[in-house]
């Protein structure tokens, strides 16, 4: 039985959106996981949703990165379990050391909330398997600290090891280096992204021709897990 855990921290505010898409739309067994839980046996994948964990009191994601559950998240990531961090979840993965670089205030120092074009650069992760290479997709962003930055060597490694998963297309809404919108770890099972796929998974929410590009991230996960369980 494949079950996906949605990790909830104090201040998280997108967990219900993610749960709804996974459970009600795609009919995947899904369970909320409170941040102090340390027994994660039985979960085939994890999603760290967006929000303002701990109110971003020190720095976005930094307090949540020291929550008790993170030890288990790291262990599962090391064991190859798919882990997706969305927006604040991406910030938590960065702050916990599961992904390289940093996420800082947007270039213009304002909160950006809009639909954007992005290009799929890596189709080998559990969350992008059903996309085409360089496919253009449409999803919303909503963040104040989403500008990805890293030193030159890290950026070079990301390019060389195919760790840039998504890049902003036509417009870079936050000033990220290389127009980075999502990255993964070298193994590809841990992905962090600033766009919100859960907000682009139902046509009724899309302002453009019932676009549901976001659902492909979650359907890719189930496709991947189906392959993993059959081998």
Which CA distances in Å does 147 have to 1, 31, 106? 38, 30, 5
Among candidate residues 15, 95, 198, 202, the one labeled active-site is: 198
At residue 165, what are phi and psi to the nearest 5 degrees? -90, -45
35 Cβ contact partners less than 8 Å away, ≥ 6 residues apart:
7, 8, 9, 10, 64, 67, 68, 69
- Beta-bridge mates of residue 138: 117
CA-CA-CA-CA torsion sign (10, 220, 186, 179): negative
Taking a C-beta distance cutoff of 8 angstroms, is the pair 198, 86 a contact? yes
Among candidate residues 87, 145, 184, 202, the one labeled active-site is: 87
Among candidate residues 143, 184, 196, 211, the one labeled active-site is: 196
Rounded to whole angstroms, how far apart are CA atoms 36 and 200?
30
Check if 198 is active-site: yes
94 Cβ contact partners less than 8 Å away, ≥ 6 residues apart:
61, 100, 101, 102, 103, 192
Q: In a 10 Å sphere around its CB, with 0-12 CB exposed, 13-18 middle and 19+ buried, how is residue 160 labelled?
A: exposed
Check if 87 is active-site: yes
Query: Could you tell me the end-to-end alpha-carbon distance of the chain, in angstroms, rounded to an integer?
Result: 15
- Residue numbers annotated as active site: 87, 196, 198
């Amino acid at each position: 039985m494949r079950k996906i855990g949605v990790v909830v921290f104090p201040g998280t505010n997108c967990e219900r959106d993610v749960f709804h898409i996974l459970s009600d739309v795609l009919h995947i067994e899904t369970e909320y996981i409170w941040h102090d839980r340390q027994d994660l046996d039985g979960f085939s994948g994890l999603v760290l949703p967006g929000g303002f964990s701990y109110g971003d009191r020190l720095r976005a994601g930094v307090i949540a990165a020291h929550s008790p559950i993170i030890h288990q998240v790291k262990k599962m990531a090391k064991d190859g379990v798919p882990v997706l961090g969305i927006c604040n979840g991406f910030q938590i993965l960065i702050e916990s050391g599961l992904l390289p670089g940093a996420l800082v205030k947007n270039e213009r120092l304002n909160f950006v909330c809009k639909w954007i074009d992005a290009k799929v650069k890596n189709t080998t992760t559990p969350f992008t398997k059903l996309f085409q290479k360089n496919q253009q997709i449409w999803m919303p962003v909503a963040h104040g600290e989403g500008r990805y930055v890293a030193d030159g060597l890290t950026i070079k490694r990301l390019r060389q090891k195919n760790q840039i998963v998504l890049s902003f297309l036509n417009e870079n809404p936050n000033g990220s280096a290389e127009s980075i919108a999502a990255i993964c770890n070298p193994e590809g099972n841990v992905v962090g992204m600033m766009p919100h796929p859960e907000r682009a998974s139902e046509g009724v929410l899309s302002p453009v021709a019932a676009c549901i590009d976001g659902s492909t991230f979650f359907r890719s996960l189930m496709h991947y897990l189906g392959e993993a369980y059959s081998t």
